[in-house]
Structure 1
Amino acid sequence: MTEHQHVAPSRLQPVDGEWRRVSPKYIVVDLVGNLFSGLFTTAVATLPAWLLGWGVWWWLLPAVVAVVSIVLIALTPRRVRSIGYLLRDDDLLFRRGIMFQRFVAVPFGRMQLVDITRGPLARSLGLAELKLVTAAAATGVVIPGLPLADAEELRDHLVALAETRRAGL
């Protein structure tokens, strides 16, 4: 290939542009969720050994569950920083994940519903979750940890784009 030839990037390859990340406040929401689920799972894993008086080996189960929960909690800040989205000409590209990365392109013309959800902790931090629903269940995307004003602005922008794409404008 000569130096003058240009290779177009693949459709789902990470592209140049400004990736928008979720709010750093979302780390708190995710940490609290992981902490509660880790405590609950560890408690449930402890029940057989504690209630039934089973042997020492049964105490390994809650220990392993606790270690896995601690690792998940420790990775939470990095996992949250990996979440982002990019508005392109014809679609929204969403990414998340550290080891197992996921990239999803949601075409504007295929969006059927754009929904904002706010749990109690997220609401207290001024955050919201934006859910994009398409006809294909596999391409549904949830963008967590957006500041409420950004989520509302993005929702309105996506709905307007979806309407113009469906109308063929």
Structure 2
Amino acid sequence: MTSAGPEDHAPDSAAPAESTDPRIDLPGIAWKRVSPKYLVAGLVQLGIAAVIVCGLVAVAWLAWDWTWAGWALPFVAVFFIISIVVEPRRVRSIGYALRTDDLVFRRGIMFQRFVAVPYGRMQLVDITRGPVSRALGLADLRFVTAAAATAVAIPGLPEADAEELRDQLVTLAESRRAGL
């Protein structure tokens, strides 16, 4: 009878490691995240929407005696509570990366979206600032190609980073279009 040596119990180092993350990912990409302040903007916007919608449903129930509104109010409130709880994870799922020939954007928890936009196909690069984002010093960078389905918006960038990225993308787009 022979005893098993330590080499018999060692894990096979040649076997590929399995990822426990169910998220689709592109290998070799260093993702840049949006600003942590974007979480605050999302929570404020959800809070405003919750107050308005729940207020309207409560008015319909109490002032106009619509009984269905009394039943709907808890469901509406639960919907907004779940949305507020999920918001931090949703914000963490947003990322972008500049590669040699394109910009790659990802977002989504349950329904994940990956978009690669070639620099030479960009037609419009725009910065937008809503009132909550402006108060927090954030901006959304939007760019559009000829295909409407590839319109991408990177939300929650600090204003200086958004302007710098916009200028960089415009320069890359012009140089790539010249080569077409």
CA distance in 1, matches of 2:105, 2:137: 22
- 2:157 is matched with 146
1:130 is the counterpart of 2:141 = yes
Q: Mark the CA change 1:54 to 1:120 in structure 2 (over 3 Å): closer, same or farther.
A: closer
Note the alpha carbon deviations across 1:4-38, whole angstroms, 9 max, x for none. xxxxxxxx952312100000011111100011112
Q: State the TM-score, normalized to the length of structure 1.
A: 0.86
Alignment check: 8 A CA contact 1:129 1:146 kept: yes
Q: Is the partner of 2:123 in helix, strand or coil?
A: strand
- 2:53 is matched with 41
- 2:76 is matched with 65
Q: Mark the CA change 1:82 to 1:126 in structure 2 (over 3 Å): closer, same or farther.
A: same
- 1:160 is matched with 171
1:81 is the counterpart of 2:92 = yes
Q: State the TM-score, normalized to the length of structure 2.
A: 0.81
CA distance in 2, matches of 1:46, 1:137: 39
State the shift of 1:108 in Å.
0.8
- 1:6 is matched with none
- 2:29 is matched with 17
Question: Computing the radius of gyration over CA atoms, which structure comes out larger, 1 or 2?
Answer: 2
Q: Percent identity?
A: 59
CA distance in 1, matches of 2:66, 2:135: 43
State the shift of 1:85 in Å.
0.3
State the shift of 1:41 in Å.
1.8
Alignment check: 8 A CA contact 1:134 1:140 kept: yes
Q: Is the partner of 2:110 in helix, strand or coil?
A: coil
* Contiguous gaps of at least 5 residues in structure 1: 4-11
CA distance in 2, matches of 1:52, 1:153: 53
Alignment check: 8 A CA contact 1:29 1:121 kept: yes
- Alpha-carbon RMSD across the aligned residues, in angstroms, is 1.8
